[in-house]
Amino acid sequence: MITLIGSPVQAVYVAEQETATERADESFKFICRHILEHGSYDLDPRPKYSDGTPAHTYSVNHVVQTYDLGKGDFPMLSLRNIAVMSGIGEILWIYKDQTSCLKRLAEYGVTWWDKWDIGDGTIGQCYGKTVNDHEIIGDLIKNMKNDPDSRRHIINLYQYDDFKKTHGLKPCALYSQYSVRYEGNESYLDGFLLLRSSDFVMAGAINQVQYIALLMMLAQICGFKLGNFTCLLVNCQIYDRHVDPVKVMLERESVPANPYLYINPEKKELSEFELKDFKIMDYPRKEINTKNPQLKLDIGIWFNFKIKAVFSIKRLLF
């Protein structure tokens, strides 16, 4: 597992520990130390905590993490328990269901998007609605099957025309690309994810696991073996209220394990997948909860008060 940091001080770390959780934990610590030592402190943040206090961050730009999935790399930390199934549910909501309906998302047990409700029970013209309106995932799968050597297997959720319509938060995981690679008689599918912004402590591992799940679905649907996964975090940040929890995590020791994501091998179409078709295997949650108990992490949220006020007035009038 390789981690590169491009700015403000270049750094590289190659994790060669014996188990996947140890490699993921040491890479996490490396990034967090770098942010705490060299990170830029923002001056006028848009997000706020639940009590209204501005949610400042320390951040660095251009962090790259590469996982050799075939050799057991996997971004599951053991410094605290990582609940990723909700993230996989979110991926199904975006790419299978292709909707921004929050009621549908709640069926996967995910409610945190409710804070971005534009007033009609959706997050508006973004994410799944963009996938549907631009036929993004269907065209991607068709092209991967018909022209696997193409360098244009791209998902781009950052559609500027869509943003002219009412929407909630603009996509953070906005771009991913899929490339076929050959070794001998085998063909592998490698995945690349670009995150314009990463709340690294809260969601870094979750975002990466959910897009590994998408990579696995695409590989299985199109008949490829699972390849490598690389994530570029354009702006990688630690919220100021996460600094103390991070310092606790930096002092913790790993729980050695080799977790991996199981995917139902019988499913061959995107429309067939359900959340129950995925399982995180060999992840010792009980031992992690005992040795490295969960930490309180306050979330910085951007509330679009203007949008909410407009819809509140409409409800009163109509």
* pLDDT one-digit tens code per residue, 287-310: 999 999 999 998 887 655 444 433
* Peptide linkage before 8 cis (omega within 30 of 0): yes
Helices (H) and strands (E) in the chain, counts: 9, 11
Comparing C-alpha atoms, which of 20, 32, 19, 24 is closest to residue 11?
Answer: 32
Q: How many CA atoms lie within 13 A of 141 on its CB side?
A: 20
CA-to-CA dists, residue 226 to 18, 67, 182, 286, 304, angstroms: 21, 11, 12, 29, 40
* pLDDT one-digit tens code per residue, 251-292: 999 999 999 999 999 999 999 999 999 999 999 999 999 999
Comparing C-alpha atoms, which of 273, 157, 257 is closest to residue 213?
Answer: 273
* pLDDT one-digit tens code per residue, 36-86: 999 999 999 988 998 899 999 999 999 999 999 989 999 999 999 998 999
Indicate the burial class of 61 (C-beta count within 10 angstroms; 0-12, 13-18, 19 or more). middle
Indicate the burial class of 36 (C-beta count within 10 angstroms; 0-12, 13-18, 19 or more). middle
Q: Is the pLDDT of residue 316 over 50?
A: no
Q: Catalytic residues, which ones?
A: 172
* pLDDT one-digit tens code per residue, 155-184: 999 999 999 999 888 999 999 999 999 999
* pLDDT one-digit tens code per residue, 93-141: 999 999 999 999 999 999 988 988 999 999 999 999 999 999 999 999 9
- Tell me the C-alpha distance between 75 and 63, whole Å: 15
Q: Contact 37/31 with Cβ under 8 angstroms?
A: no
**What mean pLDDT, rounded, does the chain reach?**
92
Query: Residue 317's pLDDT band (boundaries 50, 70, 90)?
Result: very low
Percent of the chain surpassing pLDDT 70: 95
Q: What are phi and psi of 19, to 5 degrees?
A: -115, 165
Which domains, and CATH codes, for the chain?
A: 2-317 (3.30.572.10)
Predicted local distance difference test score (pLDDT) of residue 210: 97
Report how far apart the first and last C-alpha atoms of the chain are (Å, whole number). Answer: 56
Predicted local distance difference test score (pLDDT) of residue 98: 97
Q: How many CB atoms lie within 10 A of CB 78?
A: 27
Query: Residue type for 286, please?
Result: K
Q: Is the pLDDT of residue 207 over 50?
A: yes
